[in-house]
Amino acid sequence: MKQVLKGTTVTRDETIDGRVVTKDVSTLNAASDANYLDTWTFDYTNVSEDELLVLATRSLVIEAQGKFRRAKSDKLSKFDGLSVNVREYLDNKRKKSTPEQRKAKAIDAVKAAGVSKADLEAMIAAMDEAEEESDES
């Protein structure tokens, strides 16, 4: 087990050897408010294909339930009869956002919070100034 400092990027490995999967997992421990990188092993020996499918479906259901909970009421009906093409799901793994996408998302969040353009510009100027002072020291 290794504690991961905030802001640190870690490499998470995953290996499959027969029916044993070993995976590095980064997890926040609420009691210590710290992230840890652990190595976990999952042994699927003597687990049938049907049992594997049931187990795999659980995580997809949990993800879909989260989307359902966050959906606007006029979008709920699209979840009735939901059909997931697991191959497409696996092929469309979430891609990292670009700096431009993160900036646009942050701007949208600020707008949604009701911060005026003038206040936003003042905050950006203050951050730039603080960064310049930090670079000088």
Three-point CA angle 62, 6, 38, nearest 5°: 55
What's the pTM value of the predicted model, to 2 decimals?
0.56
Q: Report the distance separating Cα 48 and Cα 124, nearest Å.
A: 56
Separation CA 135–CA 117 (nearest Å)? 27
Which mean pLDDT values do the consecutive 10-residue runs of the chain (137 residues) have? 82 92 91 91 96 94 92 92 90 75 79 82 82 69
Q: Which one-letter amino acid corresponds to residue 119?
A: D
pLDDT for res 82: 93
**CA of 27: how far to CAs of 38, 39, 67, 80, 94, in Å?**
8, 11, 22, 33, 19
H or E element: which one contains 4?
strand 2-4
Say if CB 13 and CB 24 are below 8 A apart.
Answer: yes
Burial class, 28, CB count within 10 angstroms (exposed 0-12 / middle 13-18 / buried 19+): exposed
Per-residue model confidence (pLDDT) at position 137: 59
pLDDT at 121: 82
**What one-character-per-residue DSSP string does 28-42 give?**
EETTTTEEEEEEEEE
